[in-house]
Structure 1
Amino acid sequence: MPIQDTANIKEKIISIFRIRGPSLPVHIASRIGLSILFTSAFLSELVSDKKIIISNMRVGSSPVYFIPGQESMLERYSQHLKSKEREAFLLLKEKKILNDKKQEPSIRVALRSIRDFAIPFKRDEDIFWRYFTIKESEIKEIPKTIKIIERKIIPKKIEEKQELNIVNKEKPKKKPVKKKISQKKNEKFFNKVKEFLLKKSIEILDIENFNKDDLTLKIKDNGKEQLLIAYNKKRINESDLIKVHKKSLELNLPYILLTLGETPKKLNELINAIKNLSKIEKLE
């Protein structure tokens, strides 16, 4: 294809974006009269030239392309987000700013997946998410508002303590510290499981349960939906195994177990013994 023709096609593609806004490769291909393969090649070149931008989200298997300045128009494709991602999107759109650690684990995972719409930022050591249409100048006002509220509340607490003659000041301080430590441990465990699944290209569909002892997820591995239970301890026992089995029957799903350590020898022997067990009958 002559160089002039290539330049003309690229300019035509840019013109289509100006008229249509964010588009899929199939939309562009139909307008310029080329195959998806050739169209995708042109789009890749335009991305490299920084003339257009490619989205993180996918509609089916295709990304969305758009020209700079059309970011807000990506909202029209939000309907194609997966259920949890859409839930996180709608929550962030409504609240404008979310404190990461105050969200449910499933929402926290989803927020990290919708990078077109959720922009992370830090205040002190906390991670926050802002809706992508919120400007950075608006964010700077948040810490000031919070500090003012704290100043009003703290004196009231001090007065109440004085009235009740509370002398020991160490006890109130210990409780939040424990909570923070517990939250950090839980978060560390959750992230460890998430990284493990990510390495194995396993998709998290939903979070059934999450506490300090275990994490129960619905996952998709090689196209098959399964139940995954991760125990936040090194050794599991028979009761743990029975609990997982009951949950899998309840949801009618095969299950996978994760632990922080090796499976105890006795439990392994029990599992192997059950594999070949046909049935148990009572001798009368």
Structure 2
Amino acid sequence: MERGNSILDQREKIISFIKIRGPSLPIHISQHLKVDTLLASAMLAELLSDKRLKLSNLRVGNSPVYYLVGQEFQLENFYQYLPDKEKETFELLRSKQILKDSDQLPAVRVALRSIRDFAFSFQYNDQLYWRFIKVNEENASELIQKTQATQVKPVQIEIPVVKKILLEHIQKAKELSISKNVQNEIVQDATPAEPIVIKEKQKLVSLIPERKAQESIFKTPVKTKKEKGKSEFVSKVYEFFESNNLKLVKEISSKKKEFMGIINVENNGKFDSYICIAKEKKSVSDKDLMKHLQTGQKENLPVLFLSNGETSKKAVEWLDYLGNIIIYRKLE
């Protein structure tokens, strides 16, 4: 009970710390609480699961940034950690506030879809636009209207010089007493075939077909039949999938004594995704759990950990505490 109260106290300290400091990394929490980084990450994962904290899409190194609801604007302090092209796109969007998707270069369009902490898409007159995080959709629509109102539409203008030349020819014809037929001929020669038109310069936009979105992993399950060439341990993992009606949607890695992939679990007609990590081990420690918990955090997925080993006393305590964030099942 004392241990439980201590952990709860630590969690409240984390919330108070982030309220004061703003968006933070696990290392900041670790230093503040004077605990191991793995333990700090585990407590952050629990607060994330309880929806008391939010997780950034951007990464500082390999770590996401944790923040409270209402601190979204403060993520701007971390934009320098974005890759170069995404950083340039962030600065462009922050400067312009809104961007029309079809007017952008392909690299910018890709980057806009990557900086999800700062760029938000919306439709206006059936056109896709992007707005900066500090601009709401209503203000973004007003900005589009103002931009369109100030744009100069192509107009037809007859250049005055043409009229002047035409009049000079007619005047000379009169002075020389040229016959009516000759005058008409001169007028026709002097009259331009078409009025000279000045049009607004149009941008050349390279149109590249949108890459078709990848099909949802829920719709493309991979059959979990035992395959040739699999080690005895990995075959047991596949048998576990079959016997528990789990759908393997992506195999990330497969070795003689290790396996990693993404699976779908059906739950009341819906599918929940887990990252499955399987390792052949004689025993499972709390450090093993923390290591795999970090892997799950990188993928933003809960963890299903499979092994043939026995769990230590500390590992059992942590599994009970972490709940559905990481689930352990022993392979027989």
- After TM superposition, the score normalised by the length of structure 1 is 0.55
- For the residues of structure 1 that align with 2:87 and 2:147, how far apart are their CA atoms? 28
Q: How far is 1:124 from its partner?
A: 2.2
Bigger radius of gyration among the two: 2
Q: How far is 1:144 from its partner?
A: 3.1
Write the letter of the residue equivalent to 2:103: K
Equivalent position of 1:237 in the other structure:
none
- For the residues of structure 1 that align with 2:142 and 2:40, how far apart are their CA atoms? 44
Superposed counterparts of 1:202-213, under 5 Å = none
Equivalent position of 2:43 in the other structure:
42
RCO (CA 8 Å, sep 6+): is it higher in 1 or 2?
Answer: 2
Structure 2: gaps spanning 5 or more residues: 159-191, 195-201, 215-332
Write the letter of the residue equivalent to 2:25: L
Write the letter of the residue equivalent to 1:34: V
Superposed counterparts of 1:80-229, under 5 Å = 80-146=81-147, 148-149=149-150, 153=153, 156=155, 183=207, 186-188=208-210, 191=211
Equivalenced residue count is 176
Tell me the SS of whatever aligns to 1:121: strand
Q: How far is 1:147 from its partner?
A: 5.2
Structure 1: gaps spanning 5 or more residues: 167-175, 196-284
Equivalent position of 1:52 in the other structure:
53
Tell me the SS of whatever aligns to 1:86: helix
Q: 1:136 to 1:16 in 2, by over 3 A?
A: same
Equivalent position of 2:318 in the other structure:
none
- For the residues of structure 1 that align with 2:110 and 2:14, how far apart are their CA atoms? 35
Kept in 1, the 8 Å contact 2:124–2:141? The answer is no
Q: How far is 1:146 from its partner?
A: 4.8
* 1:121-171 Cα deviation digits (max 9, x unpaired): 111222111111112231131343355457x737x45x77xxx997xxxxx
- For the residues of structure 2 that align with 1:148 and 1:31, how far apart are their CA atoms? 53
Tell me the SS of whatever aligns to 1:40: helix
More helix as a share of residues: 1
Tell me the SS of whatever aligns to 2:70: coil
Q: How far is 1:44 from its partner?
A: 1.1
Moved >2 Å (runs of 4+):
142-150
- For the residues of structure 1 that align with 2:111 and 2:117, how far apart are their CA atoms? 12
Tell me the SS of whatever aligns to 1:6: helix
Equivalent position of 1:202 in the other structure:
none
- After TM superposition, the score normalised by the length of structure 2 is 0.47
- For the residues of structure 2 that align with 1:97 and 1:36, how far apart are their CA atoms? 39
For the aligned residues, what is the CA RMSD?
3.0
Identity score, percent: 41
